Amino acid sequence: MSEKILIVDDDIDSLKLIGLMLQRHGYEVVAANAGNQAISKASTEHPNLIILDVMMPDMDGYEVCRRLRANPDTKTIPIIMFTAKTLVDDKVAGFEAGADDYLTKPTHPNELASRVKTMLARTTGQKQQETSKGLSVGVIGAKGGVGTSTIALNLTAAFNLRGENSILGDFCLGSGSLGLSIGFGQSSGMANVLIKPANEIRSTLIESELTLHQSGLRALLTAAHPQDAQLSYPDDSALAVVRAMRTMGRPAVFDLGSRLNTTTNRLQREMDQLVLVVEPTPVALSMAREMLHELEPGNPNSGRIHVVVVNRAQSNVQTPWHEIEHALGQDLRAIISNAHDQLFQAMRAAVPIVIYQPNAVISGQIMKLAEDLAARVKVTAGGELSY
Does the pLDDT at position 386 exceed 50? no
For 165, half-sphere exposure in the C-beta direction (CA atoms, 13 angstrom radius) is 7
Question: Where does the chain hold its CATH 3.40.50.2300 domain(s)?
Answer: 4-130
Does the pLDDT at position 75 exceed 80? yes
- Other beta carbons within 10 angstroms of residue 123's beta carbon come to 18
Q: What does the pLDDT average to over 275-282?
A: 91
pLDDT cut 90: percent of the chain above it: 38
Taking the C-alpha atoms of 347, 350, 351 and 356 in order, what is their torsion angle to the nearest 10 degrees?
-60
Cα(152)–Cα(170) distance, integer angstroms: 9
Q: At what angle do helices 262-269 and 235-245 cross, to 10 degrees?
A: 30
The per-residue pLDDT for 384 is 39
pLDDT in tens, 24-67: 988 999 999 999 999 999 988 889 999 999 888 888 989 999 99
Q: What does the pLDDT average to over 171-177?
A: 83
* Residue 245 banded pLDDT, cuts 50, 70, 90: very high
DSSP string over 290-323: HHHHHHSTT-TTSSSEEEEEE---S-S----HHH
Q: What does the pLDDT average to over 313-321?
A: 60
Q: At what angle do helices 282-295 and 321-328 cross, to 10 degrees?
A: 40
The per-residue pLDDT for 129 is 46
Which pTM value belongs to this model?
A: 0.64
Is it true that domain 135-382 has CATH number 3.40.630.10?
no
Q: What does the pLDDT average to over 192-209?
A: 91
Residue 45 burial class via C-beta count within 10 angstroms: exposed 0-12, middle 13-18, buried 19 and up:
middle
Question: Where does the chain hold its CATH 3.40.50.300 domain(s)?
Answer: 135-382
Assigned fold of 4-130: Rossmann fold (3.40.50)
Does the pLDDT at position 208 exceed 60? yes
The per-residue pLDDT for 365 is 94
Q: What does the pLDDT average to over 99-108?
A: 80
The strand order across the sheet containing 49-53 reads 28-32, 4-8, 49-53, 79-83, 101-104
The per-residue pLDDT for 135 is 84
Cα(145)–Cα(148) distance, integer angstroms: 7
pLDDT in tens, 123-154: 665 555 444 456 899 999 998 888 999 999 99
3-class state of residue 334 by DSSP: strand
* Residue 298 banded pLDDT, cuts 50, 70, 90: low
**Which residue in 204, 203, 185, 205 sits closest to 195, CA to CA?**
205
The per-residue pLDDT for 89 is 66
**By the 8 A CB rule, do 337 and 361 touch?**
yes
- Other beta carbons within 10 angstroms of residue 107's beta carbon come to 13
**By the 8 A CB rule, do 340 and 311 touch?**
no
